[in-house]
Structure 1
Amino acid sequence: MATTRPPIGNKTLRLACLLLAPCSLLAVSVAQAADKPLLDRLFQDHAVVQRDRAIPVWGQASPGESLKIALDGKTVSSRAGADGHWQASLPALPAGGPYTLSVTAADGSSQTAKDILVGDVWLCSGQSNMELQVRRTLNLNSETSGANNDRIRMLTVPQTGASAPQDHFAAPVQWKSTTPQNVPDFSATCYYFARELQKTVDVPMGLINASLGGSRIEPWLSAQALRKVGGYDEALDTLALHAKDPQAAAAQWGTLWAKWWSRQPQVKKGDEPWNPAASDAGWKAAPKTLVDYQTWGVPELASYTGMLWYRTTVTLTKQQAAQDATLAIGNVDEIDQTWVNGRGVGSSSYGGSPRIYRLPHGLLHAGKNLIVINDLNTYLAGGMMGPSDTRALKFADGSSVPLDTNGWQYREVPRDIGTPPLAPWLTVSGKTTLYNGMIAPLGHYAFRGALWYQGESNTGEADQYRRLLEAYRDDLRAQFGAKLPLLIVQLSSYGPAPTKPAESGWAGVREAERLVAAEDPHSGLAVAVDIGERYDIHPANKQELGRRLARAARHVVYGESLPPSGPLPVAATREGDTVAVSFRDVTGKLVAYSSNHPIGFELCGTQANSCSYADADLRDGKVLLHLDTPPAHGIARVRYCWADSPFCTLYDEAGLPAVPFQLDITSSPH
């Protein structure tokens, strides 16, 4: 890819040097102008653009400048707006290439992007199981050594969040072809999907991977989409303030967090640990060296995940308190909510990165100042940790006061208090941050469809997940096309195998994913519950997942008549003393692995925790369920594979698993 601009004559440059000394600075600015691209970063060497539809192209130029854009002999015109942004729409092309994309401005400057292919382009998004690289999957050596396919190319979006929608990526991006050197870092789910699909859809495949491990679904939605869902206005208003004034937003969020705390039934009235006037009751001395609190030797904390309070005091002189200051609290795993003298000053997420918060002028005062941190830890090690010198108040004159001098205290939190609200600017758990930083910069790039593999981080709020996933689907279509196909990976399995029926957040998210796919003709589902790993939340068999996604695409996107995802439940009806479950999308017939009878079925009442395992038989293409002793509360629902990590043995003759589900039981019409 090359950018050229007309040279500035020596006379012009010398005159500029005389008028705008120093000349060396001007020479730098001229060089920077010459390197400024006209095309958006998406449109560079080796890019793949969508076939059989108009091709949107855009970039930046001087305000008001006219431009000519050409691809494969087709030329269109555009003009940059007052902000310098320009956009154009090139005529549709069939699959093919390579072509050269060129842009020429009225001032003679130009840019070309070479080796452009036209094919099908896919957006692959989600959390760590979408991010998971090929190098972490099965048969790595054989998968990489033979990976030479210039017709599958991937662009990986830089991982970042933002408080407001961004026009450009946070870092340079690059389209990369499938080679032994490149493919180990490709998203495995995305790559194996395209490789399988290309066996039947023989066109170039462009893959844009926008994923981030640990992310919830809310950060992937635009602000407009979240407001339509409802219940997020306070967080979104605070996020909008954060984009303009982070200090004011931190204080506002501290107030909202405090309101949540005071509403919890486990919290005594007037209990405000961040308040300098609060009681000392319940506070205990923390170890002098701060490490993972699970290793402190405190039995109550040995395997605890949840919230823990920390506090300390710092004594300042009048001269210190009058200076601008920042608060460094070092590494906190995972999420801190921090107050100074009763005012919220910041919140950040995950360990490994030091937390540094700029304090508003006038917050500190001479004498004793109170610093309070609420730490939320949801997985393994947690708490404040790391070297003492990473925790200090730092002043404008370069001096600092360590925070550990007076020692830290800690206070436990009621175990059943639940999860506090999370600051909306947090990258992986905030509101609309990943949309702003990773999806908004994609503009209106043309896609054939989107793949979504996410939900692990939302299993605690499965009831809300369906509404959020519907909003995500509609949000994508508002940006990239009204009928954009969405292929959803139903959550895999993870955790201990069940020994009795129980409620399951993982199963609840799977059901939400099933229902969202079922309600929309342009959506498909890939079942993954049988290819998970109980001891690893990141199952390595992404090859089979890619095959299932490609099968769903062949049905949903390309209109093939093959069943897209394996047996899907149609109805559960009472037939005498049994309940019959019927299925569709069955290839051949239903089969049970390793038994004459499928397992994993439950019959339930209307209330939670009212389920019992049911015996099952296969007969005439149905599953017949019965209980030796029907429960006193009656039977109202059927569940299948309803657990975090269930054993499921119902398949069809194509080797595809039946979809985990829950259905209400209806009376037989006979």
Structure 2
Amino acid sequence: MKTIITIKKSDYPAPAKAYYRQQSSAKSTTREIALFLTGLLLIPAAIFAQFQIADIFSDNMVLQRDQPVHIWGKGNPGDTVLSGFATEEKSCIIKADSSWSVYFKKQKANAAPQIIYIKNRKETIELKNILIGDVWVCSGQSNMEWPMIKEMHFKEEIKYANQPLIRLYNPAPAGRYVYGVAYTDSLNKRLNTEDFYADADWQQCDSNTVKPMTAVGYYFAKHIVASENVPVGLINLSIGGAPIETFISRDALQNSKQFSVKVKGNWLENNNLPEWVRERAKQNVGNNVNGYGDDLGLNHAYKPGFAYAGGVAPIIAMPIKGILWYQGESNALELPRVEEYRNLLHLMINDYRQKWLPCLPDRQAAAPEGKQPAMPFYWVQLSSIDTAKYPSHYWPQFRDEQRKLLDEVKNGGMAVCSDIGFKNDVHPTNKKTVGERLARWALHYTYKRNIVPSGPLPLHAKYINGNIVITFRYTAEGLRTSDREAVTGFSINGKEETKATIQKNKIIIAAKEKPAFIYYGWQPFTNANLVNSEELPASTFKINVL
């Protein structure tokens, strides 16, 4: 919520009074007035903008600590904007393009509610109950979108959901939970970048506001607050069924030699995009010949670059702590899409870090390299599901592609969740474990806590005297199995199970000859049971045997 108060000129602070006296003191002749009125007819109506603040700002929000606070909006060109926050007051003149922008000094984490006011000559916008802490963007598809009210532990967790240090921003994308049918007129009217994400306000986390919020995000935030005692704000941009392409900016795709083909021609007929995604979109908008669109065709949540333009671009001038990402199911159904996914995710991460510049008035001077190469990005590896009722044949390879990205992304981490998948449901409901495993990565690398961030990840496999010896990182106090039974999940051909044993922090597999590869968890629904002493599962992998 934004409180808007109409004010009188007598209420202006002194600098504003002086400015408006100067503006009104000039004498105008009848001829000058006539010329002025004639000129008004030639000026686009859009420049007479209603005084407003960007949608991302409202009561109850969290602003990023240790970075300058950036507030912006629109108004009538030439008007003065006066604003105040903490002990500072700032003013600026609204630019010819109707935009205005002010910056306040950075602050340390602060759980005491504060107020921001922004004034023009007629109105004051007041934002209340503002905290200073860490802001995390939650993005991806339905498993990130999965709401708390449908989460496995909801009935128990609701008793603890009054979390005043957690703040939630959850704008619903047009078409949320609408599948297999044509969109209504009201939904079609929202398929533009300005209206795609519904108007939303920040809310303090409690037993009601948490119900529609991303469950993964909630459990992540709760874990961070419990450890760090700082406010955490969550911005949820996830979209059920969405491919990664919609969250990548169109210019990043166009400028990529590998992926420029994804933004050529009508996207609904572009075979370089996931077929299932295009079919879903056609069901929603295929018959809407008069719908919003451009040279790539009709708009939809799954269109390349569309979610980026509607959700990411409007907030990219706002400092954040990092990104949480749970997506991949829609890109894991076809082999070409699986094989390119790692590079696509790499492209997206680099693009976000390139554009989410450090928030300073002179940002290029502050960051001559023009990017934030260290902005944390943590993702969730796909879980497990059987092929009997779902086309998950490529999931082992997909999970391995996600794992390989760990060696390529600085300040990145991956939560392994193959042990909590549902055999016949693409939506496992245990999001508590997912959120907490993501939080472990953040606590270890972002918050510098002495905590094991992950289950075992393979370092290398060597053939020594008739044995394959596999070494891991993140073994903690040693390897073991989740069920305390014999080790399962290893294979030398990706098909038949191979006997393996634990020796301290290594896996030993007897083999008469050196195989080319060793596999682990290489089934869509895996029975692999290797964990470390923290009970964190090992990742699916396929690695060379040296």
Asked whether the two chains share a fold, i.e. TM above 0.5, the reply is yes
How does 1:656-667 map onto structure 2 within 5 Å? 656-666=536-546
Q: Is the 8 A contact 1:95 1:203 kept in 2?
A: yes
Aligned to 2:129: 115
Is 1:588 aligned with 2:508?
no
Choose the corresponding residue for 2:303, options 398, 414, 430.
Answer: 430
Moved more, 430-439 or 73-82: 73-82
Cα distance in 1 between the residues matched to 2:57 and 2:141: 26
Aligned to 2:456: 567
Q: Which amino acid aligns with 1:572?
A: A
Cα distance in 1 between the residues matched to 2:104 and 2:351: 24
Aligned to 2:88: 74
Cα distance in 2 between the residues matched to 1:143 and 1:34: 49
Aligned to 1:205: 232
Q: Which has the greater radius of gyration?
A: 1
Secondary structure of the residue aligned to 1:211 is coil
Cα distance in 1 between the residues matched to 2:49 and 2:99: 17
Q: Which amino acid aligns with 1:470?
A: H
Cα distance change on mapping 1:230 and 1:178 into 2, 3 Å? same
Aligned to 1:487: 378
Cα distance in 1 between the residues matched to 2:173 and 2:393: 30
Is 1:454 aligned with 2:338?
no
CA shift digits 1:299-318 (9 cap, x unpaired): xxxxxxx99xxxxxxxxxxx
Moved more, 472-481 or 210-219: 472-481
Q: Is the 8 A contact 1:169 1:441 kept in 2?
A: no
CA shift digits 1:19-47 (9 cap, x unpaired): 9xxxxxxxxxxxxx999443112111111
Cα distance change on mapping 1:208 and 1:193 into 2, 3 Å? same
Is 1:190 aligned with 2:217?
yes
Cα distance in 2 between the residues matched to 1:139 and 1:131: 16
Aligned to 1:478: 354
Cα distance in 1 between the residues matched to 2:509 and 2:298: 49
Measure how far apart 1:168 and its partner are.
Answer: 7.0
Cα distance in 1 between the residues matched to 2:538 and 2:297: 38
Secondary structure of the residue aligned to 1:119 is strand
Aligned to 1:615: 499
Cα distance in 2 between the residues matched to 1:68 and 1:451: 35
Choose the corresponding residue for 2:57, options 34, 43, 64.
Answer: 43
CA shift digits 1:163-199 (9 cap, x unpaired): 9994676431111111111111111000011011211
Q: Which amino acid aligns with 1:86?
A: W
Q: Which amino acid aligns with 2:223?
A: E
Secondary structure of the residue aligned to 2:228 is coil
Bigger helix fraction: 2
Secondary structure of the residue aligned to 1:466 is helix
Choose the corresponding residue for 2:527, options 647, 653, 656.
Answer: 647
Moved more, 556-565 or 528-537: 556-565
Q: Which amino acid aligns with 1:40?
A: A
Is 1:92 aligned with 2:93?
no
Measure how far apart 1:237 and its partner are.
Answer: 4.5
How does 1:292-441 map onto structure 2 within 5 Å? 335=278, 349=281, 351=283, 355-358=287-290, 425=298, 427-441=300-314
Aligned to 1:626: 510
Cα distance in 1 between the residues matched to 2:521 and 2:202: 40
Is 1:555 aligned with 2:444?
yes
Cα distance change on mapping 1:166 and 1:74 into 2, 3 Å? farther
How does 1:219-238 map onto structure 2 within 5 Å? 219-238=246-265
Aligned to 2:3: 2
TM-score, length of structure 2 as denominator length: 0.79
Cα distance in 2 between the residues matched to 1:603 and 1:424: 47
Cα distance in 1 between the residues matched to 2:485 and 2:503: 11
Q: Is the 8 A contact 1:168 1:441 kept in 2?
A: no
How does 1:121-160 map onto structure 2 within 5 Å? 121-160=135-174
- Report how many aligned residue pairs link the two structures: 476
Secondary structure of the residue aligned to 1:45 is coil
Choose the corresponding residue for 2:394, options 477, 500, 505.
Answer: 505
Q: Which amino acid aligns with 1:187?
A: T
Cα distance change on mapping 1:583 and 1:216 into 2, 3 Å? same
CA shift digits 1:423-463 (9 cap, x unpaired): 76553443111111221121311111110000011112211
Measure how far apart 1:63 and its partner are.
Answer: 1.3
Secondary structure of the residue aligned to 2:311 is helix
Cα distance change on mapping 1:425 and 1:560 into 2, 3 Å? farther
Q: Is the 8 A contact 1:592 1:649 kept in 2?
A: yes
Measure how far apart 1:529 and its partner are.
Answer: 0.6
Cα distance in 2 between the residues matched to 1:467 and 1:233: 13
Cα distance change on mapping 1:335 and 1:124 into 2, 3 Å? closer
Aligned to 1:603: 492
CA shift digits 1:57-109 (9 cap, x unpaired): 1111111323222211222333322111112221111111311111122x253
Measure how far apart 1:148 and its partner are.
Answer: 1.1
What is the RMSD of the two structures over their aligned residues, measured on CA atoms?
A: 3.5
Cα distance in 1 between the residues matched to 2:343 and 2:230: 35
Cα distance in 2 between the residues matched to 1:426 and 1:34: 28
Cα distance in 2 between the residues matched to 1:213 and 1:552: 25
Secondary structure of the residue aligned to 1:212 is coil
Percent same amino acid at aligned positions? 28
Cα distance in 2 between the residues matched to 1:129 and 1:636: 35
Secondary structure of the residue aligned to 1:553 is helix
Q: Which amino acid aligns with 2:435?
A: G
CA shift digits 1:535-564 (9 cap, x unpaired): 211111111111111111101211223221
Cα distance change on mapping 1:425 and 1:220 into 2, 3 Å? farther
Cα distance in 2 between the residues matched to 1:164 and 1:356: 11
CA shift digits 1:511-554 (9 cap, x unpaired): 22212223233111111110111121111111111111111110
Secondary structure of the residue aligned to 2:289 is strand
Structure 1 unpaired stretches of 5+? 9-18, 20-32, 239-248, 261-305, 308-332, 337-347, 360-422, 605-609
Cα distance in 2 between the residues matched to 1:354 and 1:227: 24
Cα distance in 2 between the residues matched to 1:226 and 1:560: 36
Cα distance in 2 between the residues matched to 1:42 and 1:572: 49
TM-score, length of structure 1 as denominator length: 0.65
Q: Is the 8 A contact 2:174 2:198 kept in 1?
A: no
Q: Which amino acid aligns with 2:380?
A: V
Measure how far apart 1:496 and its partner are.
Answer: 4.4
Q: Which amino acid aligns with 1:617?
A: T
Secondary structure of the residue aligned to 2:226 is coil
Structure 2 unpaired stretches of 5+? 10-32, 34-46, 176-187, 358-371
Moved more, 425-434 or 59-68: 425-434
Secondary structure of the residue aligned to 1:199 is helix
Q: Which amino acid aligns with 1:427?
A: H
CA shift digits 1:570-621 (9 cap, x unpaired): 11111121111101111111002345531111214xxxxx754321111132
Q: Is the 8 A contact 2:285 2:300 kept in 1?
A: no
Q: Which amino acid aligns with 2:427?
A: H
